[in-house]
Amino acid sequence: MTYDFRPLEPDEVRPLQVMLASCNMPSSDVTSKNFKDFLVARKGSDGKTMLACVGMERYGDSALVKTLAVEPSVRGQGWAKQMLGLVEERARREGIRAAYVVTNEAIDFFTARGYERIVPTDVPEELRNTRVFAVIPPMAVCLKKTISATFVVDYDRPFPHMDGAAPVRQVPRGWRPPKE
């Protein structure tokens, strides 16, 4: 089985919205205007079956990681971890020094990956003025991770529990692994 990781294409906005709905996640963040903010994992040679996605909005040297979702049928196989690693690598390559997340369900997932709880007033003003921070639910938690200039994603490691799948060696178009 082959897997493909690449930015969302304009004609894939609606299919991604459908996938997000199947994950019980809001799809209003995905539009024809911001589709380039999203990275999608696809399965198969046709690349039409979406398995996971993650979005990132840049604000100066900070970024808001958003809409991390995994298709229900493939949860528990390492897709969210891989997608988060890829978006963090993109952030590192673009010179982003801090990634922020607002969540009320995946707190343990993010803290296990180096994110730390912060109070909303510690978020840069540019991010606090976004729609995400304007409508933070009372139970939501703000998290922050410092993006190291030496952060590296292991592109040669296969996903866990992938039925003997070959290592993933496909790098998203335009996103290159760091030079040795």
Query: What is the percent of the chain where pLDDT is above 70?
Result: 81
Confidence tier at 162 by pLDDT (50, 70, 90): very low
The predicted pLDDT at position 152 comes to: 52
pLDDT over 90 at 6, yes or no: no
Rounded to whole angstroms, the Cα distance separating 42 from 173 reads 13
Taking only the tens place, the pLDDT of each residue in 69-119 is 999 888 888 899 999 999 999 899 889 999 999 998 899 999 999 999 999
- pTM across the whole model: 0.78
Residue partners of 179: CB distance under 8 A and separation at least 6: none
Q: For residues 115 and 109, give the distance between their C-alpha atoms in angstroms, rounded to a whole number.
A: 9
* CATH of the domain spanning 3-146: 3.40.630.30
